A and B are shown apart, each in its own frame.
Chain A
Amino acid sequence: MPFLLASAVKDLRRRARDPLSLLLWVAIPLVTGLLLDLAFGSEGSGPSAHLLVADRDDSLVSGLLVGAFSQGELGELTRVEEVDAPAGRRRIEAGDASALLVIPPGFGADALAGRTSTLTLIRNPAQQILPDILEESLGLMLEAAFYLRQLARAPIALFSTAGLPSGAATYPDSTVASGAVTINELVARVQPYLFPPVIGLETAEPEPDARAERGFAELFFPGMVFLALLFMARGMSEDVWRERAQGTLRRAVVSPRGLGEFLGGKLLAGAVLLAVVGVAALLAGRFLFGLDLRGVALAVLWITFAGTAMLALFVLVQLHATSERAGDVLTTAVLFPLAMAGGSFFPFDVMPGWMAAIGRRTPNGWALDELSRILSGQSDLAGLAAAFAGVLAVAVAAFLLALRRLRSGFATGG
C-alpha cells in the first residue's frame, strides 16, 4: 500500500474511533432537510400555494376567477387543483393544501347581475404565508371584478342580457371571443394596480421565469448540501492541530515520503467521508423532497470533489492561524461569509443580482451552481469542465500553499 493510501486509511481509522463527530456531520444535512421539510410541507413542488377549488357554479365567470389564479406571476406561485367540495374539505383537514376555495352555485349569474354572493376560502391552519397570499389575491380579484364590471359594462351586459341562446350549452364562440378580448385588454391595463402585493413579492425573487420551473427542493437543496460540506470540511481541517499537538506531524515532516502524501492522505480520507455524506444527503433529498435523481452519480462525484476542495481551503486557513483557537475563529470567519455569499443560506435565485454575481464567483458558489445544474439535468459538458477546472485550480493552489506552510515551520510552531 502506498504511503498516500496508508495515510488515508490511518485517518479514516482515527475518524472511525470518533464516531460521534462523524455522525454529526452526516446528521447535519439530514436534520436540516427534515426541518425545512417540516417548515414548508412535503409537496415536493416548491414554495407554491396549493389551491383546491370546488367550483359548484361552473360558469364562465367562475372559470375566469379560477383561471386568474393560474395566470401571470400569481400562476407561478399557485398550483390550482379542481376538486369536489367534500373531498376538498377532507384534504384541507389533512393539511394537504394551502386553501380550499368554494364557489357556490349561481355565483356567475349573481356577479354578472351585480348581486352579492359569497365565496368561501378555507385556509390550512398549519400554513402561514401561502394562505395569506391566496386570500389577499382573492380579495383583490373580487375587487377587481367589481371595477371590471364597471369598466366592462358593455361586454358583460352582452353575456347577461343575451343569455344563452336556447338549446345551447355555452355561449357562441364569437360572443366569448369578443367579450374575452375586451376583458383581457382591460385586465392588462389595470393589472399593475390590481396585483401590487403579488408584484411586490416577486421583486424579491428575480428571474421568475427560470424559478418558476424549479421546485423548492431544487432551489434550496444544493445550498443545504453545500452548507453541510462546508461545516464538514471545516471540522475535518482541525485535524492538523491534533497532528501537531501529538507530534506526529513532526514525524511526517522528517520522513522521506513526508508531507505531500501525508496531506494528500488527509484529503483522500476527507473525500471518502464527503462521498458518504453526499450519498446520504442525496438519498435524503430523494425521500424527503422527491428529488429527481437524474444525475445522482455525477452529483455524488461533484459533491465529493467540491467538498475536498473546501477541505484543502480550510486546511490552508488553519495552517496560517497562530493557534488552534485562532484557527477555530479564522475558519469560522471564512465559513460564514462563504456560505452566505455562496448560496448556502439563500439560493442565488432569491439574492439581489449583484450579490448573486459575487456569490457565484466564490469557489463554493461556483461549485454549488454546478451541482444545481447537475441535479436539474441542465449541466452540459462545457459548463461542467469549466467548473471542474475552476474548483480544481482552487484545490491545487490550496494544497500546494498548505504544503509549503507545513514545510516552513507549522509543525514546529514557527
Chain B
Amino acid sequence: MIQVESLRKEYDGVVAVDDVSFTAGAGEVFGLLGPNGAGKSTTIGCISGLLSPTAGRIRVLGHDVMRDSRSAKSALGVVPQEIAVYEDASAEENVTYWGRAYGLRGGRLRARTSAALELAGLGDRAREPVKRFSGGMKRRLNFACGIVHEPRVLLLDEPTVGVDPQSRVRLLDLVREQAGAGTCVLYTTHYMEEAESLCDRLAIVDRGRVIASGTLEELRTLTAERDLVRLTGRFDPAAVSAGLAAAVPGVEVVSTDAAHLTVSVEEGSRRLPALFSALASLGAEIRETTLTRPSLESLFIKLTGKQLRE
C-alpha cells in the first residue's frame, strides 16, 4: 500500500534521506527505526505530501504522491511528530475540523469524531479546551485527529514520545487495532522495544540510509546470535584491529577508536576473561564494559558502531 522507491531528499545541499526504498502492505505495521536525525520524519513528510522529494518515487494505494496527490492524501492519515492541534479549541472541535478536511460530514462525522476521541481515551474531556490538557493527552488528541477518517494508510511519527507508560500501552494497542482492521501502518520510532513488540517488518535507518531491513526474524539472524561487547578505556586502534581476532578466536572487531571498542562474539559472557587478557597484552586499558544480547540494538550497534540513543 506504500511503495517508496529510491527516495532522496536534500535540504539546501544537506542530504537528509538517501536512496531509501521499502514497501508496506495492508494490515502490516512497518517500522522505521533510527536515531535522531536519521531521516524518519523527512521520509514521512515526503510520503504525506508535506515535502517534495528531490528524487525517487512514492506511491500510496498506487497513487503517485506527486502527480496524483489528492487521491494519495485522501488515503492517508498522518500523526505528526510535533503535536498539531488548535490549543484554543476543544478536543471535539479539533477532531471534527480535521474530519471535515477529509470530507466527512453529517452523522458519519459525528460518529467518527466520538469514536476517535473514545479510542484516544478523551471521550469524557471532549468539550474541554485543549489548552488545559496534559502533554500526553494532547498527544492522544494528535493521534485522534489522524485517524478520525479511518485512513487505509496511517503514518505515525514517534507518537509515543513524552507519553506516560499507561498512555503508551494504550497507544500501542491502538496501533495494533488499526493494523488488525487492515490499515497499513508506517511507524517511526527510536525505541527498540516498541519496534520489537509492534512491527511486523522494519527498516533500520541511519543518516538517511536504510542499513538493514526485513522481518524481525530476518534482522535477528543478521546478528548471528552473537553478543556485542562494548568497551571504553584506552586502545591502540591499529594494534587492536590487527591482533585481537588472532588472540581470541571467534571475535570480530566492529569498530574501534582511541577510547572505544566494540566487538561481536558468540557467548560473550564466557569469553570475557580471554578478551580482557588479550586486550591487556595489546596494551589496552579498560574502564567500562557493556555486554549486549542479540537484539535490534545489537544489530544497530553492529551496523553503525554506535548506540541508538546517543
How many of A's residues come within 8 Å of B, CB to CB?
Answer: 26
Does B33 count as interface, using CB distance less than 8 angstroms? no
Contact B84 A257 (CB under 8 A): no
- Which residue of B48, B52, B86 is within 8 Å of A10 (Cβ)? B86
Q: Which residue of A lies closest to B129 (CB)?
A: A17
Identify which of B52, B74, B89 contacts A256 (C-beta below 8 A): B74
Assess the B78–A254 pair: CB atoms within 8 A.
yes
Shortest Cβ gap from A358 to chain B (Å) = 39
Measured CB to CB, the nearest residue on chain B to A248 is: B84
Contact with B along A252-264 (1 / 0, CB 8 A): 1111111000100
Stretch at the interface among B92-100, B190-198, B227-235, B259-267: B92-100
Confirm or deny: B156 has a beta carbon within 8 angstroms of a beta carbon on chain A: no
A6–B45 Cα gap in the complex (Å)? Answer: 25
Indicate whether B88 reaches chain A with its CB closer than 8 angstroms.
yes
A171 within 8 A of B: no
Tell me if A161 is interfacial: C-beta within 8 Å of chain B: no
Does A255 lie within 8 Å of B88, measured CB to CB? Answer: no
Query: Does B25 reach chain A (CB closer than 8 Å)?
Result: no
CB proximity of B201 to chain A, nearest CB, Å:
24
Most chain A CB neighbours (cut-off 10 Å) among B88, B89, B105, B145: B88
CB nearest to A247 among chain B residues:
B84
Determine whether the beta carbon of B89 is less than 8 Å from that of A13.
yes
Contact of B88 among A1, A3, A17, A412 (CB under 8 A): A17
Find chain B residues with CB under 8 A from A17 CB.
88
Pairwise interchain contact B102-A248, C-beta atoms closer than 8 A: no
Judged by a CB distance under 8 angstroms, whether B83 is at the interface is yes
Q: Contact between B89 and A14 (Cβ–Cβ < 8 Å)? A: yes
Chain A: which residue is nearest B130 at the CB level? Answer: A246
Question: Quick one: CB contact mask for B42-54 with A, threshold 8 Å, 1 for yes?
Answer: 0001001111100
Q: Is residue B208 within 8 Å, beta carbon to beta carbon, of the partner chain? A: no
Contact assessment for B86 and A256 in the assembled complex, using a CB-CB cutoff below 8 Å: no
Q: A18 CA to B93 CA in the complex, in Å?
A: 17
Interface size classification for chain B: 20 to 34
Q: Majority SS of interface residues in chain A?
A: helix
A246-B84, A247-B84 known; A3-B145 Cβ under 8 A: no
CA–CA, A254 and B89, complex, Å: 20
Given the known A-B contacts A247-B82, A247-B84, are A255 and B93 also in contact in the complex, defined by CB atoms under 8 Å?
Answer: no
B 132-175 binary contact with A (CB < 8 Å = 1; else 0) = 00000000000001000000000000000000000000000000
Does A414 have its Cβ within 8 Å of any Cβ on chain B?
yes
Q: Contact check: which of A10, A247, A256, A412 meets B103 at CB < 8 Å?
A: A256
Q: Point out the residue from B85, B86, B98 that lies within 8 Å of A255, measured CB to CB.
A: B98
Q: Which residues of A contact B87 (CB under 8 A)?
A: 246
A250 touches B50 (CB 8 A): yes
Residues A254 and B48 in contact, CB atoms below 8 Å apart: yes
Task: Please determine whether B93 and A10 come into contact, CB atoms closer than 8 angstroms.
Answer: yes
A27 to B107, CA, bound (A): 41
Q: Which of B49-93 contact A (CB under 8 A)?
A: 49-52, 70-71, 73-74, 76, 78, 80, 82-89, 93
Residue A315 is within 8 A (CB to CB) of chain B in the complex: no
CB contact list, B94-140 vs A, under 8 A: 97-98, 100-103, 105
* Proximity string of chain A (372-414) to chain B, C-beta cutoff 8 Å, 1 when within and 0 when not: 0000000000000000000000000000000000000101101
What B residues does A250 contact at CB under 8 A? 50, 80, 84
A335 to B70, CA, bound (A): 36
What residues of B have a CB within 8 angstroms of the CB of A214 in the complex?
none
A18 to B80 CA separation, bound complex (whole angstroms): 27
Q: Could you tell me which residues of chain B, from 268 to 301, have a CB within 8 Å of some CB in chain A?
A: none
Interface centre among B50, B74, B84, B100, by most chain A C-beta atoms within 10 angstroms, is B100
Inter-chain contact B76/A412, CB cutoff 8 Å: no
A251 touching B98 by the CB < 8 A rule? yes
Which A residues between 228 and 263 are near B, CB-CB below 8 angstroms?
246-248, 250-258, 262
A41 to chain B, nearest CB (A): 44
Measured in the bound complex, the distance between the Cα atoms of B45 and A414 in whole Å is 13
The CA of A255 and the CA of B80, in the complex, are separated in Å by 12
From the candidates A1, A10, A253, A258, name the one contacting B89 in the complex (CB within 8 A): A10
The closest CB in chain B to the CB of A257 belongs to B101
- Measured in the bound complex, the distance between the Cα atoms of B101 and A248 in whole Å is 12
- Chain B positions within 8 Å of A254 at CB level: 48-50, 73, 76, 78
Task: Tell me the minimal C-beta distance from B212 to chain A in angstroms.
Answer: 28
CB distance from A7 to the nearest CB of B (A): 8
Q: For the complex formed, measure the closest distance between the CB of A107 and the CB atoms of chain B, giving whole angstroms.
A: 73
Whether A256 contacts B50 by the Cβ 8 Å rule is: no
Q: How far is the CA of A411 from the CA of B85 in the complex (A)?
A: 14
User: Are A256 and B80 in contact, with the CB atoms below 8 A?
Assistant: no
Smallest CB-CB separation from A15: which chain B residue? B88
Q: Of residues A247, A252, A256, A412, which shows the largest number of chain B Cβ atoms within 10 Å of its Cβ?
A: A256
- Distance, CA A255 to CA B82, complexed state (A): 16
Q: Which of A14, A18, A256, A414 contacts B102 (CB 8 A)?
A: A256
Interface residues of B in 1-46 (CB under 8 A from A): 11, 45
Nearest A-chain residue to B76, judged by Cβ: A254
Q: Is the CB of A414 within 8 A of B11?
A: yes
**Seed contacts A14-B89, A251-B78; 17 additional CB < 8 Å A-B pairs:** A6-B97, A10-B86, A246-B87, A247-B80, A247-B82, A250-B84, A251-B101, A253-B49, A256-B73, A256-B74, A256-B101, A256-B103, A257-B100, A257-B101, A258-B70, A409-B51, A412-B51
Chain B residues engaging chain A, CB cutoff 8 angstroms: 11, 45, 48-52, 70-71, 73-74, 76, 78, 80, 82-89, 93, 97-98, 100-103, 105, 145
Q: List 24 A-B contacts (CB under 8 A).
A: A6-B101, A13-B89, A14-B86, A14-B88, A246-B86, A247-B80, A248-B84, A251-B101, A252-B101, A254-B48, A254-B78, A255-B73, A255-B98, A255-B101, A256-B71, A256-B73, A256-B74, A256-B101, A256-B102, A256-B103, A257-B103, A412-B50, A412-B51, A414-B11
A-B interface, 10 closest residue pairs, ranked by CB to CB distance from nearest: A247-B84, A255-B101, A256-B73, A254-B48, A256-B74, A6-B100, A251-B84, A17-B88, A257-B101, A254-B78
Q: Report which A residues bind B (CB closer than 8 A).
A: 1, 3, 6-7, 10, 13-14, 17-18, 246-248, 250-258, 262, 409, 411-412, 414
